[in-house]
Amino acid sequence: MIAAFLLSAGVAQAQVLVNPTRDSATVTSAQDSVVAKPKAPEAAKAHWYDKISLRGYVQVRYNRLLESNPDLRTEYDRSVGNNGGFLIRRARLVFSGNVHERVYIYIQPDLASTPNGSSTIHFAQIRDAYADVSLDKKKEYRVRIGQSKIPYGFENMQSSQNRLTLDRGDALNTALPNERDLGVMFYWAPEHIRKRFSELANSRFKGSGDYGVFALGVYNGQTANKQEANNNQHLVARLSYPFMFKNGQIIEPGIQAYTGVYTVTSDQLSNAEVKGGNFADRRVAASFVLYPKPFGFQAEYNVGEGPTFDPATYSIKTKSLTGGYAQAMYAFKLGEQNFIPFLKVQYFEGGRKAETDARYSKVYETEIGVEWQPMPAFELATQYTITDRTNRDGRNLDNRQNGQLLRVQAQINF
């Protein structure tokens, strides 16, 4: 045995002498295989553009069914009345996302805008372009910078993608045509209430979105996509809270107000006899919402003063205004299909500051309809409108039109 051991040792020594490099590498490799740890793959570096989402919707309308008066027009839908036809009312794309843990961006162009007086339609125009900067980790305190919706009125802030009626009520929307302006807003809401706002902002509950429990802001005041025309900015404030009861029902009362100076610019005047200028522009409004679970109710009313055409003096004056609406709805399902029938009545009397000569307007209107959503990507709304509208400006001192029409809108969500 001793001889065999010595013999084997000699053979091993001879192998080392014959090829020392090979054995050294083999030994080193064996040691490495035991000692060295495999490198973990490097995590891909996150880019801000990886966090941006894209969504949107398109609305196509036809308003001429069962029309009783082709001379009846509305300020919010230019395809109502004589020579109207199919219309792409909105074609929106929304780019949004958190580019930083405390910075959220939201950019929304509309590809179907039509300037007043233009025979060419479907221009691209910015609707929203803002950033939310959170002041705390929970994002309960935010500052919104850019062009965005002004926190005045529940229906004004409610997305057209969620709203039941085809157009917003005249009474509050005349305060903020296009609902937006350029400025800086401060929003506050507790974390759990922000989650509640988010849950309500869908097609079933018809929420307005997260505009805080308390909002305070400063903005130009000439409405969206228009330059400031005076040296005064508007101030706005809003307070609202969505109360939840034990049975799951939610109500949201709110109060809001704004004040500022509005300039009726030369491009808004019908002729040289009517003079523009600066006018006081201030309102206060109350809102109440009972979310449809399944029955829902929504009402808003505002009072104030603003520029208004006065036919007696053929001039624009600061005059009082008033008006609001009430809407009842009922949400139910048949299989997987959602239905929400609704009834809305509205009244408004006052000036339309953004229209020609800040025209005087008086509106009585009733809307009866139903929204049908057979699938999340498609909705069809049918609405029968009974309306009585009086407008007075430098071109027509007493234009009263009334009538009925059936309106249909198809909406594609993506």
Helix or strand holding residue 133 (H, E)? strand 123-134
pLDDT at 395 over 60: yes
DSSP codes joined into one string, 152-209 = --HHHHS-TTT-SSSS--HHHHTTSTTSEEEEEEEEE--HHHHHHHHHHSSTTT----
Task: Give pLDDT, residue 99.
Answer: 94
If we measure between CA atoms, which residue out of 236, 245, 231, 240 comes closest to residue 218?
A: 236
Average pLDDT across the chain, whole number: 90
pLDDT digits (tens, 9 = 90+) for 90-100: 999 999 999 99
pTM of the model as a whole: 0.86
Task: Give pLDDT, residue 6.
Answer: 36
Asked if 300 contacts 324 with a C-beta cutoff of 8 angstroms, the reply is yes
Query: Which of the four pLDDT bands, split at 50, 70 and 90, describes residue 203?
Result: confident
Helix or strand holding residue 396 (H, E)? none
Average pLDDT over residues 184-195: 98
pLDDT at 21 over 90: no
Strand partners, 390: 362, 400
pLDDT digits (tens, 9 = 90+) for 327-368: 999 999 999 999 999 999 999 999 999 999 999 999 999 999
The SS3 assignment for 12 reads helix
Task: Give pLDDT, residue 398.
Answer: 95
Task: Give pLDDT, residue 48.
Answer: 73
25 or 351, higher pLDDT: 351
Task: Give pLDDT, residue 36.
Answer: 53
115 or 122, higher pLDDT: 122
Task: Give pLDDT, residue 119.
Answer: 74
